[in-house]
Amino acid sequence: MDFDGYEKLKLEEDYVDEVIYNSDNIICFKSFNKKDDFVEEWQNIQASVAGNIQANLEELGLKESLAWNIYIIFVINFKLEKYLKNKVESNKFCCKKYVINVDDIQNKEQIKSRIENTIALFSNFDFSEGNHSSSNTDKIKEKIFDNSNKSILMNKFKNTPQIHNLTEIDSISSFTNELKREYLNEN
C-alpha cells in the first residue's frame, strides 16, 4: 500500500502481505480470496503480528510506544456474516483489527479509498501529503459525541415545543454548546 508519509517495514516472514508505518502507527494488511482461509487463519495472523512485530519493536528499529497503535486490516472480496466480522473486529488480543470488503483485492487505490471511507479512525488520515498525524482527534471526538446519549438527550431537550416557545433559546443553545466543548476537552 502506498500511503505517503508511511514507510514499508521489511520482515523476514510473509504472514502478512504488507506492513507500513510512520511515527504514530503500524498498519498490517492481509488479503483473503476465500472465506474458509480467512476463518482458519485470522487468529494466526494476529498471533504472528503480536509475536513478530509487537514484541520486537525495538529490534525492528521502532518506538516502543507503537505497541498501542498497531492495526491489522483484513482485506476480503467475499460475503462475510456480520457475527463473524464483529467477532474479529471486537477481538482485543494484540491490536485493533478491521475487515474491509472490496471488489478487487489487487486494486490498492480501491482498498485505500475503502479504508478512508469506512474506518472512522482513518477517515482523517492525511495519506496524500506525508502528514504523520494519525487523525484529527477533535473531529473524531465530535463524531463520537454527536452519536452519544448525552448529545441525543441534549438535542431532544432543545427541540421540544416548550423550549422553542421560550425567548431564551439562544442561551440554551449556548449552554448546550458549552457542555459539548467540556465533553470534548475531557475526552
Q: Annotate 79-120 with DSSP letters as a single string.
A: ---HHHHHHHHH--SSSEEEEEE-S-TT-HHHHHHHHHHH-G
- Separation CA 29–CA 73 (nearest Å): 5
Instruction: List pLDDT tens digits, range 149-182.
Output: 666 666 766 666 665 555 566 667 777 777 787 7
Handedness of CA 131, 133, 137, 143 (dihedral sign): positive
Q: How confident is the model at residue 134 (pLDDT cuts 50, 70, 90)?
A: very low
Contacts of 43 (CB under 8 A, 6+ apart): 91
Strand duo 70-76 + 26-32: pairing? parallel
- The number of CA neighbours under 13 Å toward the Cβ of 159 is 6
- Separation CA 99–CA 59 (nearest Å): 29
- pLDDT confidence of residue 36: 95
Q: Are 29 and 21 in contact (CB under 8 A)?
A: no
Return left, alpha or beta for 94; rule: phi > 0 is left, psi -120 to 50 is alpha, else beta.
left
The alpha helices in 16-103, defined as continuous H runs, are 35-52, 82-90
Instruction: List pLDDT tens digits, range 101-130.
Output: 887 777 777 777 777 777 776 665 544 433
Domain borders along the chain are 7-135, 140-186
Instruction: List pLDDT tens digits, range 11-70.
Output: 767 788 888 888 888 889 999 999 999 999 999 999 999 998 899 888 888 888 888 889
Q: How confident is the model at residue 186 (pLDDT cuts 50, 70, 90)?
A: confident
